[in-house]
A = this chain, B = another copy of it.
Amino acid sequence: MMIPQEILEKIDKNRQRYVEELLGFLRIPSVSTYTRHAQDVRKAAEWVLHHLKRLGLPAQLHETGGHPVVTARSPFQPDLPTLLIYGHYDVQPPEPMEEWITPPFSPSIRDGCVYARGATDDKGQFFTYLKAIEAVLAVTSRLPINVKVLVEGEEEIGSPNLEGFLKRHRTDLKADAVAVSDGSQFSRGVPAITYGLRGLSYFQIDLQGPRIDVHSGSFGGVTANPAQALAQVLAQMKNPDGTVAIPGFYESVVPLEAWERQELAALSFDEGGLKAYLGVDELPGEPGYTVLERKSARPTLDVNGIWGGFQGEGAKTIIPAKAGAKVSMRLVPNQSPSVISALFKQYVESLTPPGVRVTVTELHRAEPVLVSRDCTGIRAAARAIEIGFGKTPVFIREGGSIPIVNVLKEVLEIDSILLMGWGSPDDGPHSPNERLFLEDFHRGVRSAAALLYALAP
């Protein structure tokens, strides 16, 4: 079914109000990884709950072991397909604070963008669906398909409670397709449907040397230095050519198919623009693969954080007692986070030198995903994006992880996973000055509304 023109006009007319409402959502500092923000995270959940109720959808806030899950569903209409809309109301930590031009939780509009933590990841993108539902109901007073909404508050910490929640509510959440807008277009103005996501294995390494920081003059030469040991451990994570050195790391990697490499090569990817965005002269990485392949379809390892000893101004002559790092790997099909976890722990332990004690803690994991491109849902998504953006989408794989995608697939047995990012790739999710173009937000609302009709028989 085609979306009635009046709905799109309604969306165009209310564009400004939608943005104002979004700003209220962005003001809530719902940083899920910080326990000190637990009340703010709850506030964001309640904001979503009230918003869904205002749309006239029966909605519920569910307690979990961690942050709450909010669900809603339209009144059931038999013989119509059901779309599950997934989003998350939690955000990444805003640090480093000093890099933000305007504060992360005081949304600021400039140059046609809204700047705030969560603008693109995922508040601004997820919110488009609520506005689409509102516009449809305002014009027609019923939705063309059945809609279920699922919004969690733990995406940025690996959704530890969602799998259990889905298992308990398996029947209530049954759907024919699931829509997830938590990524981006291929490039600004080139909308995309994502059919692959990398997985994730995220660890913390803690090393202990002497029981306290000690004088490097008195004890230098006779006690192991945990910061030096950490450097040695981390250095050996990579081979000189940039590949990951963990034994067995590449064993289960499914090679890129020739047709897929051709398709990726056909996309006009702007390497100069990427260099400018990153502020670097080179884009080093695994030999034998293009930049686009390396950033979306090949596995990687990165040190996300590192610490130990004296970080202050000037000089302090100590051997630190402790040092540590956060290390994560992006995985591709068919790498399994549980296998990688065992390989990583074993390797780190084997590299730790004498005189230093090591603890490896897994903090986060996500399975890599490849979804079928050949289904009615994907075709409907492509039509919806054509209406919303005025362009046919390209098909891409994304370098990031949306851990929940695999869980939705497995637990709810939904094959039709519609991954459509409304944002631009340089929106800076997880970075300072995260933003969302208001034009992208608007196109997202239009696409979301069009999707409800495209899925209708």
* Nearest Cβ on chain B to A143's Cβ, whole angstroms: 33
A238 within 8 A of B: yes
Copies of the protein in its oligomer: 2
Complex Cα–Cα for A400 and B216 (A): 7
A283 to chain B: closest residue by CB: B222
Asked whether B302 lies within 8 Å of A202 as measured between CB atoms, the reply is no
* Nearest Cβ on chain B to A28's Cβ, whole angstroms: 19
Asked whether A283 lies within 8 Å of B228 as measured between CB atoms, the reply is no
Asked whether A295 lies within 8 Å of B219 as measured between CB atoms, the reply is yes
Complex Cα–Cα for A213 and B300 (A): 17
Given contacts A221-B295, A317-B200, A317-B202, contact A213 B96 (CB under 8 A): yes
CB < 8 Å: which of B198, B278, B401 contacts A211? B278
Complex Cα–Cα for A214 and B284 (A): 15
Asked whether B308 lies within 8 Å of A316 as measured between CB atoms, the reply is no
A372 within 8 A of B: no
CB within 8 Å of B: which of A213-261?
213-225, 227-228, 230-238
A223 to chain B: closest residue by CB: B278
Asked whether B304 lies within 8 Å of A319 as measured between CB atoms, the reply is yes
A87 within 8 A of B: no
Given contacts A219-B399, A295-B222, contact A228 B319 (CB under 8 A): no
Most buried by B among A198, A210, A309: A309
* Nearest Cβ on chain B to A306's Cβ, whole angstroms: 5
A307 within 8 A of B: yes
A298 within 8 A of B: yes
CB < 8 Å: which of B304, B310, B401 contacts A304? B310
Most buried by B among A212, A217, A354: A217
Asked whether A315 lies within 8 Å of B328 as measured between CB atoms, the reply is yes
Pick the interface stretch among A107-115, A381-389, A409-417, A429-437: A429-437
A189 within 8 A of B: no
* Nearest Cβ on chain B to A196's Cβ, whole angstroms: 12
Asked whether B330 lies within 8 Å of A221 as measured between CB atoms, the reply is yes
Asked whether A430 lies within 8 Å of B317 as measured between CB atoms, the reply is yes
CB < 8 Å: which of B93, B224, B279, B425 contacts A282? B224
CB < 8 Å: which of B211, B227, B316, B363 contacts A325? B227
A209 within 8 A of B: yes
Asked whether A309 lies within 8 Å of B315 as measured between CB atoms, the reply is no
CB within 8 Å of B: which of A169-227?
198, 200, 202, 209-225, 227
Asked whether A326 lies within 8 Å of B303 as measured between CB atoms, the reply is no
CB < 8 Å: which of B222, B234, B400 contacts A218? B400
A75 within 8 A of B: no
Asked whether A228 lies within 8 Å of B218 as measured between CB atoms, the reply is no
What is the 8 Å Cβ interface bit string for chain A, positions 432-444, against chain B (1 contact, 0 not)? 1100000000000
Which residues of chain B are within 8 angstroms of A281 by Cβ–Cβ distance? 355
* Nearest Cβ on chain B to A112's Cβ, whole angstroms: 20
What is the 8 Å Cβ interface bit string for chain A, positions 312-340, against chain B (1 contact, 0 not)? 11111111100101101010000000000
Which residues of chain B are within 8 angstroms of A51 by Cβ–Cβ distance? none
A329 to chain B: closest residue by CB: B220
* Nearest Cβ on chain B to A373's Cβ, whole angstroms: 21
Asked whether A294 lies within 8 Å of B400 as measured between CB atoms, the reply is no
A158 to chain B: closest residue by CB: B315
A364 within 8 A of B: yes
Asked whether B220 lies within 8 Å of A330 as measured between CB atoms, the reply is yes
CB < 8 Å: which of B274, B316, B320 contacts A222? B274
* Nearest Cβ on chain B to A119's Cβ, whole angstroms: 14
CB within 8 Å of B: which of A252-309?
274, 278-286, 291, 294-295, 298, 300-309
Which residues of chain B are within 8 angstroms of A212 by Cβ–Cβ distance? 99, 279, 428, 431-433
10 example contacts (A-B, Cβ-Cβ < 8 A) are as follows: A33-B316, A156-B315, A157-B314, A209-B280, A215-B428, A216-B304, A218-B429, A222-B291, A282-B354, A305-B308
Q: Which 6 A-B pairs have the closest CB atoms?
A: A217-B400, A211-B279, A231-B234, A235-B235, A33-B314, A305-B310
Known: A95-B310, A220-B295; 17 extra A-B contacts, CB below 8 A, are: A33-B313, A34-B312, A96-B213, A198-B220, A210-B278, A211-B278, A215-B431, A216-B430, A217-B330, A218-B400, A221-B294, A221-B330, A222-B285, A231-B306, A232-B238, A306-B308, A315-B326
